[in-house]
Structure 1
């Protein structure tokens, strides 16, 4: 029996492999919106096999749900890696015969919704985040963990502007303000004389 610490260590090793970028060319364009990218289910399955081997499983929870009015089928499943579980929900469009209105693609729609659900669960393990980041607004949020501290610092410096002339501060401006312990943002040219005198007293 592995200890909780050993299990956590193994999980972290697997998770690191799972979240590595996919090979170039993995992303595909959505049919309805060529500018929107997604990752097909097969690369997710291949990555799970490579990174987790016998330590992952996927199963559906309950029967598919059909929404007659919307012509949609919903599938829910659970992706398990070691003791960690993430639920995924997927949808697919139903097609009907024009004369009888009966569903003509139920089997394919359920399979497609299952793939969508697996991708949704894999997303909750942070799989594919690094690949999809350029196409997702949430990726710019530092809390998502995709923006390093160095990148945040660099970006914040670029947005710092002189209160007077509105010109972005450079490294020399920032260094001068730090040396004088001035918290207000000024470029060197526009630091008020009285702030300099007070700082040097």
Structure 2
């Protein structure tokens, strides 16, 4: 601690992507006399590094843009996104469900193989770990079905019943 600063490096992974963030915090005072200064400096450096890493993913930029117009929100691509919204299909989770062929995933309850369409439907449920919560359409828990976007659910049911 002779230089009285702390540097933190944080690495965030999202799927196959990795981002690094860097943060620095300067300690004002003598860390030998006040050991809490070290903990505070480390926390501040790690928080700054985390924010730096997350910021590279541009999370929340659309929501924060109206408040940062003079800063980074003047980006024309961000202005376009604010006016027109995301491309079609992005809101409810990509391409339409098409295949009702049998997959190699088995329902936890009935032990029957899921169709590819049921597997894709599970992937559209927000925050569902479909590696451990695998259900055929009949056995998807009601609270999980309610999380599906209405157009996705009705489209799936129409194709399934036809």
Give yes or no for TM over 0.5: no
Q: State the TM-score bracket (shorter-chain normalisation).
A: 0.3 to 0.5
**TM-score (norm. length: structure 1):** 0.34
Instruction: Please say which structure displays the higher CA radius of gyration.
Output: 1
Higher normalized helix content (fraction of residues): 1
**TM-score (norm. length: structure 2):** 0.41
